């Protein structure tokens, strides 16, 4: 088979659709293994930026893009007719929820249609976007087969979930085992072969549906466990017990326990969204995914809890939330990343503003707030941290525990710190200024 020879010799042309947090690092991995990679995106700015050797993702330096372009001939394009020349096509487009919190497959469908127009015999197509079980078989395959070409005979189709942990230097893409499942056996064989060239371990599963489900299980597991500690945080707080100390001591159990940490809510492109892809699909089978619904409910309520703790802390100081000056430290959804998608800090900002507080923010990674789909804030820039700025605030809310922050200095210069991340655990003195929420 020609595709097998091309993959084995690294002469296969790889097209990656969606140059975002998943597609760009993947392009890097394939490029560095000697494959000719073309990155496809509908965002002209991203295409331009990549072709000018410029990165737009913090943890991928521009020098890497330059190396990809100059040494390994990586190119980005918005012209999807170039898909015809590709031997392997990997889809990494977004899978958000609609306003009704239902799966929005429009990106996958549009991409599949673009591929359909350019599909030819011998190509491998792999979907990497997180989605409900059955998407590859029931949505992508029929669109591609509208060409008259048959999956498993004329082209190959598989699903392989992405397990990127942005900002975690311990696990680079090549070191993370890659689950791969095709819609038929031959598709699995070809897709497994492709990924074996670039990652250390490929985990072969019996179908695309298993691969799709495995990604959802991973994320639902996190979502449910985070909700559990969030609920316990609220209970233990009422009982005067520090949840962080409880988790630390429980984590000394050498088996059967994994630590999860509470926070101001759930953020990122995956964990707040992916579980609801399965809830939606479950309804087709007359099942209700109660764990997912319950954990969603608890996690969504967390920013409201932080606001009510802030209100009580101000109340104790005979102050009102209305008119209070609040600075939120950290807008990114987790520490040391520049990604604000679904960040609970945004919800916090919205809730504080609704209560009439005067809200600003600081985040070393988010110099200004971009246009947001769900929030309508007036244009806002990160306020530089200074003693004067901190002293002016009625409340400093630590929403994201970036490593760059000097928490001792922050507490020393603030009158009230609402700490949602236990970031102040090593701060010496001033216990009366810190409220955990
Ligand atoms: N970010 C993560 O850490 C992560 C981890 C695991 C899985 N995922 C999953 O991977 C998928 C992609 O996520 P991401 O974080 O890379 O998203 P992203 O928003 O960073 O990137 C998606 C890219 O796709 C482009 N795009 C949208 N529609 C397109 C189209 N029709 N054709 C070509 N390009 C198009 C966008 O312009 C954007 O550049 C999602 O399904 C997500 O759930 C993400």
Query: Which pLDDT value is given to residue 100?
Result: 87
Place of tokens 């890497």: 64
Residue 159 has a CB neighbour count (10 Å cut-off) of 34
Query: Which pLDDT value is given to residue 372?
Result: 87
Q: Is 292 in the pocket of ligand 1 (CB under 6 A)?
A: no
Query: Which pLDDT value is given to residue 274?
Result: 94
Q: How far is the CA of 435 from the centre of ligand 1 (A)?
A: 37
Q: Is 17 in the pocket of ligand 1 (CB under 6 A)?
A: yes
Query: Which pLDDT value is given to residue 378?
Result: 86
Looking at the chain, the number of H-run helices and the number of E-run strands are 15, 13
- Residue bearing the CA closest to ligand 1, atom 21: 20
Task: List the chain pLDDT tens, one digit each, 437 residues.
Answer: 799 999 999 999 999 999 999 999 999 999 999 999 999 999 999 999 999 999 999 889 999 999 999 999 999 999 999 999 999 999 999 999 998 889 999 999 999 999 999 999 999 999 999 999 999 999 999 999 999 999 999 999 999 999 988 778 888 888 999 999 999 999 999 999 999 999 999 999 999 999 999 999 999 999 999 999 999 999 999 999 999 999 999 999 999 999 999 999 998 888 989 999 999 999 999 999 999 999 999 999 999 999 999 999 999 999 999 999 999 999 999 999 999 999 999 999 999 999 999 999 999 999 999 988 889 898 899 999 999 999 999 999 999 999 999 999 999 999 999 999 999 999 999 999 999 99
Q: How far is the CA of 424 from the centre of ligand 1 (A)?
A: 34
Q: Is 182 in the pocket of ligand 1 (CB under 6 A)?
A: no
CA distances from 254 to 250, 251, 257, 262 (A): 9, 7, 7, 21
Alpha carbons 365 and 337: distance in angstroms, whole number: 7
Measured torsion, CA atoms of residues 22, 26, 28, 31, in degrees rounded to the nearest 10: -150
3-class SS shares of the chain: helix, strand, coil, % to 5: 40, 15, 45
Give the nearest ligand 1 atom to 19 CA: 39
List the one residue out of 166, 154, 169, 152 whose CA is nearest residue 119: 154
CATH class of 2-205: alpha beta
Q: Is 82 exposed, middle or buried (0-12, 13-18, 19+ CB in 10 A)?
A: middle
How many CA atoms are closer than 13 Å to the CA of 337, on its beta-carbon side?
18
Query: Which pLDDT value is given to residue 336?
Result: 93
Q: Is 262 in the pocket of ligand 1 (CB under 6 A)?
A: no
Alpha carbons 3 and 124: distance in angstroms, whole number: 8
Residue ranges with strand state E in 251-291:
none
3-state secondary structure of 82: helix
Q: How far is the CA of 92 from the centre of ligand 1 (A)?
A: 5
Identify any residues that bridge with 419 across adjacent strands, giving them in sequence order. Answer: 398, 436
Q: How far is the CA of 23 from the centre of ligand 1 (A)?
A: 7
The DSSP secondary-structure symbol of 322 reads: T
Structure token digits, residue 288: 């209700």
Residue spans per domain, the chain: 2-205, 226-436
What is the Cα Rg of the chain in Å? 24
Same fold, 2-205 and 226-436: yes
Q: Is 333 in the pocket of ligand 1 (CB under 6 A)?
A: no
Query: DSSP for 190-220?
Result: HHHHHHHTTSS-EEE-S-HHHHHHHHHHHHH
270 in catalytic set: yes
Query: Which pLDDT value is given to residue 373?
Result: 80
How many CA atoms are closer than 13 Å to the CA of 215, on its beta-carbon side?
29
Q: Is 194 in the pocket of ligand 1 (CB under 6 A)?
A: no
Give the nearest ligand 1 atom to 163 CA: 6
* Fold (CATH) for 226-436: Rossmann fold (3.40.50)
Q: Is 94 exposed, middle or buried (0-12, 13-18, 19+ CB in 10 A)?
A: middle
């Amino acid at each position: 088979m020609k595709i097998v020879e091309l993959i084995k010799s690294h002469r296969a042309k790889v097209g990656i659709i969606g140059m975002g947090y998943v597609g760009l690092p993947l392009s890097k991995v394939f490029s560095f293994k000697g494959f000719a990679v073309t990155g496809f995106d509908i965002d002209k700015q991203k295409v331009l930026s990549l072709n000018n050797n410029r990165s737009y993702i913090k943890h991928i330096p521009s020098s890497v893009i330059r190396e990809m372009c100059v040494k390994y001939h990586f190119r980005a394009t918005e012209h999807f007719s170039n898909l015809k020349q590709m031997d392997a096509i990997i889809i990494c487009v977004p899978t958000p929820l609609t306003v009704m919190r239902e799966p929005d497959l429009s990106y996958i469908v549009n991409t599949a249609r673009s591929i359909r127009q350019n599909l030819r015999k011998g190509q491998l197509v792999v979907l990497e976007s997180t989605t409900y079980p059955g998407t590859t078989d029931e949505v992508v395959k029929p669109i591609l087969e509208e060409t008259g070409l048959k999956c498993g005979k004329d082209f190959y189709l598989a699903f392989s979930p992405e397990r990127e942990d942005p900002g975690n230097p311990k696990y680079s893409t090549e070191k993370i085992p890659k689950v791969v499942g095709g819609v038929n056996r031959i598709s699995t064989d070809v897709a497994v072969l492709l990924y074996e060239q670039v990652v250390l371990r490929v985990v072969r599963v019996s179908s695309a549906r298993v691969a799709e489900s495995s990604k959802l299980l991973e994320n639902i597991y996190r979502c449910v466990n985070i909700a559990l500690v969030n609920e316990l945080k609220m209970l233990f707080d009422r009982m005067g017990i520090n949840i962080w100390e409880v988790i630390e001591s429980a984590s000394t159990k050498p088996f059967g326990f994994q630590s999860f940490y509470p926070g101001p809510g759930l953020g990122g492109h995956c964990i707040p969204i992916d579980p609801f892809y399965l809830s939606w699909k479950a309804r087709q089978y007359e099942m209700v995914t109660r764990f997912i619904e319950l954990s969603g409910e608890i996690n969504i309520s967390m920013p409201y809890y932080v606001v009510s703790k802030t209100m009580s802390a101000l109340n104790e100081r005979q102050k009102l939330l209305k008119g209070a000056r609040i600075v939120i430290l950290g807008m990114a959804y987790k520490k040391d990343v520049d990604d604000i998608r679904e960040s609970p800090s945004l919800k916090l900002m919205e809730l504080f503003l609704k209560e009439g507080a005067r809200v600003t923010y600081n985040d070393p990674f988010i110099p200004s707030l971009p246009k947001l789909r769900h929030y309508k804030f007036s244009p806002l820039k990160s306020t530089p941290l200074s003693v004067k700025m901190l002293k002016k605030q009625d409340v400093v809310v630590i929403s994201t525990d970036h490593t760059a922050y000097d928490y001792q200095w922050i507490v020393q210069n603030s009158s009230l710190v609402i700490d949602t991340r236990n970031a102040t655990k090593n701060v010496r003195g001033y216990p009366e200024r810190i409220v955990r929420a």
